Structure 1
């Protein structure tokens, strides 16, 4: 009797469990359908012969990035079936409410085309470089039935390449900043990227409006000149040299240019470059439609010991642009310097540098632009006083003036008074004047020796204001010079200047806006 009770209890419990299982499967029929479909596809795949095609991230010698890899990866991440992958990465998009899905490493995703079912696998293999170093080889594997290969392979790849991928890349494209990694990790490529979100634009830069217009026109003309460059047998690239003291806006200009063109930025840190061959490989791994930047090139040229084995010849070859033609064109190359007095003129010749742009210390025109941007004022009762101090030769970098305005942005009057105080202090001590004099363009910087196109702010390089500056300094120091003594002091100072330099001549209005070779 007891045994019968146990049997009955067992069947009751089993019946309850079976009922709960059926109920669970019914309630979660989506999971059941998914499992059944997975088994069906697995059985179906086992009954067919497949062929696998590889799309590697880099070509066989790892010199150049495979552009088709990026197109396929973008296409796969746009498929709705990515949500069915076992592991999917979630990232925030360009907008705060955007969520972007990315296929995880070694995961598979399925797609259909012309009635045929294909699968892609994001294969990532770690490879040891040494005891403490390793790199990843990324490859996308396309698995397709052999019976479907002849019918759909080429149309399917063309579908990705033309119809879908280009549209997706345009809609999802965001400007990126690429930085070169240490020279030990060559196998996996040399660039790491992050989103480039620098807010600088040409509208926010404290630069002469006419100079801005010429630069923007030059860039727009470059974008439309592919056939023209090719007809001339020239590489479709444009090289700019930005030179001037620190804090004058060279880096912000690079950001503004990248935003205007919607180009990725490749910033090369020469201290992480092993030798000339390594520098060439970095260039080969850049994409077309990019801005390539080397900052503080003068420091490198004056201190070769700090940059390992990169030679002057290697930099010259890099600037020539021959290698860039092997990796697409439509490139902008930018080099920045604080001064080019000690730079070999052969490095700055036309063909290597097309446009020279001088970034001066702050003058009254750039001060007014800064006041409009930072304080929202176009005129103020203190402006004449600021202009008078600038005329004495006192100056500061735009970055310093901007910082003072940021700190005092709640009170424009206090901000202007703080700028006036800082300028007077600099003029009285004279250390700013010595820095300004050392950073003022030499004969070479004025276009006397090297070729190319030279652009400057109007009034950025005064020619015959030395007497007025020195007289202004005397007024600041003593406040007692007046009447006949003025002319006497001026004549004395002018004579001293002529004896020392023999270069003061002409009115200040002779400043050159653009000098062509």
Structure 2
């Protein structure tokens, strides 16, 4: 053992002596060139190539670094035992990532890629208007040279798309609204935003399951249809019209759509938009992957400009509202948005400012809307939000009381199924009955049955009274008709009698 250690010490001494000679004889430039030459020779014979993705690109953050970090957080093939946890701003979920100088092996289309998280201390701080972090972080990607084309063409794009999907899924939704008077915030944005925490989902939405499945399939087809819209030359957008009585769940439907797709919501208040140009500016400031909502479109502003213009005679003056010019003052306190401006907003050149956006209009009276606003290409899918049906009632019972169909007696189920269609109660009214008695399930069901029966009887009375009034109106019309016809028949007799009397007088 002593001889081994003595030999090892002698070799270390020889190595140190040779290194000193090399540093003394060869200048630093020559040593650097020799190292580069050695690396080139090594790379020529190596079957791998390496790509470095640094955290900072100069003084700016490298977007690809953040995307890789998010993408690798979803991989299950982590080889190390130490992981780093993080939570992004406005995020509701934790993500893990590679720890310092740890490795991960990933596969894409049958190609193996090895990622290494490289962390080093920054040696010197160069002069910069923005202070740099003390640690220099980056990812090193090692792949085989033969797979270089495939990786660079597809893999990195796949990572970016996957990272955006993860970020959108983890990040809280935002609800935007346009402020009064069109004021801008400190950054010049015309929208005010608050976190969107609405818990409505398609699972909890009180609607017929078949109709919900149809809407969900349409939304999935839209979100996955980028290539189709590009191939057909159409703007990547879709319009939905939600119509029906108040309290049927139109706002809950919008929240469920946003939570299902992971989109932000822009609640556009048309009464705060004064001109068509302001409407276009608001549209330009909306982001992709968003839902633009105009609620109660029939009550927001007067959009009957075309009908007014069509019924105008040649002697009527042309008002600024009919021209649709900016800066005109209308009946709505200075609001001069025209129907043509709104149509361009939904299906014109300005609707292409952005991609993957959904327009949702809601109304309680669809008959009041202009047909031009309802055609395909503007409102592609019309969704009737009807009164509560029996399948929707089962969803409400499960949401509020935790009762499934098997938890109710057969007689109660048959009674509910029979009376629910006659009562025509909205999901909001039924929910209120269940909320008040949610602590006593039996009492809640009993109260619901009584409320449905009461509403059904009330509707029957109204229907009978309406029928009786219609019959009375018909009888009154018949009497008036007979009364109008009887004097004409009686008035002919005196005329004849007068004629006959005149003839007799002439004869005498």
TM-score range, shorter chain: 0.5 to 0.7
Pairing 1:37-436 to 2, within 5 Å after superposition: 94-95=91-92, 170-173=165-168, 174=171, 175-182=173-180, 183-185=182-184, 188-302=188-302, 305=332, 308-327=335-354, 329-375=355-401, 376-378=403-405, 379-380=408-409, 381-391=411-421, 393-428=422-457, 430=458, 433=459
Deviations 1:464-512 (A, max 9, x none): xxxxx67x977xx9xxxxxxxxxxxxxx98x969x99xxxxxxxxxxxx
Verify the 8 A CA contact 2:237 2:356 in the aligned structure 1. Answer: yes
**TM-aligned CA deviation for residue 354 of structure 1:** 0.3
Verify the 8 A CA contact 1:301 1:343 in the aligned structure 2. Answer: no
Deviations 1:363-386 (A, max 9, x none): 333222211222223133423333
Mapped to 1, the partners of 2:194 and 2:160 lie a distance apart of 21
Q: 1:382 to 1:93 in 2, by over 3 A?
A: same
**TM-aligned CA deviation for residue 264 of structure 1:** 1.4
Deviations 1:84-123 (A, max 9, x none): xxxxxx998534999xxxxxxxxxxxx999989678868x
Which residue is equivalent to 2:23?
none
Mapped to 2, the partners of 1:313 and 1:96 lie a distance apart of 44
Deviations 1:398-437 (A, max 9, x none): 0110121122112222112222332344344x4xx5xxxx
Pairing 1:6-21 to 2, within 5 Å after superposition: none
Deviations 1:136-156 (A, max 9, x none): xxxxx99xxxxxxxxxxxxxx
**TM-aligned CA deviation for residue 302 of structure 1:** 4.5
Verify the 8 A CA contact 1:404 1:419 in the aligned structure 2. Answer: yes
Mapped to 2, the partners of 1:164 and 1:351 lie a distance apart of 33
Mapped to 1, the partners of 2:271 and 2:127 lie a distance apart of 43
Mapped to 2, the partners of 1:169 and 1:121 lie a distance apart of 30
**TM-aligned CA deviation for residue 248 of structure 1:** 0.8
**TM-aligned CA deviation for residue 224 of structure 1:** 2.1
DSSP-derived class of the 1:283 partner: helix
Unaligned runs of 5+ in 2: 1-57, 71-86, 96-118, 133-155, 304-330, 476-508
Q: 1:163 to 1:347 in 2, by over 3 A?
A: closer
Please, which moves more after superposition, 394-403 or 278-287?
Answer: 394-403
Verify the 8 A CA contact 1:267 1:294 in the aligned structure 2. Answer: yes
Q: 1:368 to 1:356 in 2, by over 3 A?
A: same
Verify the 8 A CA contact 2:243 2:385 in the aligned structure 1. Answer: yes
**TM-aligned CA deviation for residue 357 of structure 1:** 0.2
Deviations 1:151-192 (A, max 9, x none): xxxxxxxxxx98998776554441222222231328701112
Mapped to 2, the partners of 1:54 and 1:278 lie a distance apart of 36
Which residue is equivalent to 1:444?
none
Mapped to 1, the partners of 2:159 and 2:126 lie a distance apart of 17
Which residue is equivalent to 1:103?
none
Q: Cα RMSD between the aligned structures?
A: 4.5
DSSP-derived class of the 1:206 partner: coil
DSSP-derived class of the 2:367 partner: coil
Larger Cα-atom Rg: 2
Mapped to 1, the partners of 2:62 and 2:278 lie a distance apart of 24
**TM-aligned CA deviation for residue 388 of structure 1:** 3.2
Verify the 8 A CA contact 2:293 2:359 in the aligned structure 1. Answer: yes
Mapped to 2, the partners of 1:427 and 1:170 lie a distance apart of 48
Verify the 8 A CA contact 2:270 2:301 in the aligned structure 1. Answer: no
Mapped to 2, the partners of 1:97 and 1:234 lie a distance apart of 38
DSSP-derived class of the 1:246 partner: coil
Unaligned runs of 5+ in 1: 1-52, 56-68, 79-89, 99-110, 123-140, 143-160, 434-468, 478-491, 501-517
Deviations 1:288-328 (A, max 9, x none): 1111111111112448616823222221111115213233x
Mapped to 2, the partners of 1:120 and 1:338 lie a distance apart of 59
Q: 1:172 to 1:424 in 2, by over 3 A?
A: same
Mapped to 2, the partners of 1:403 and 1:219 lie a distance apart of 30
Count of residues in Structure 1 that have an aligned counterpart in Structure 2: 324
DSSP-derived class of the 2:189 partner: coil
**TM-aligned CA deviation for residue 284 of structure 1:** 0.5
Q: 1:118 to 1:343 in 2, by over 3 A?
A: farther
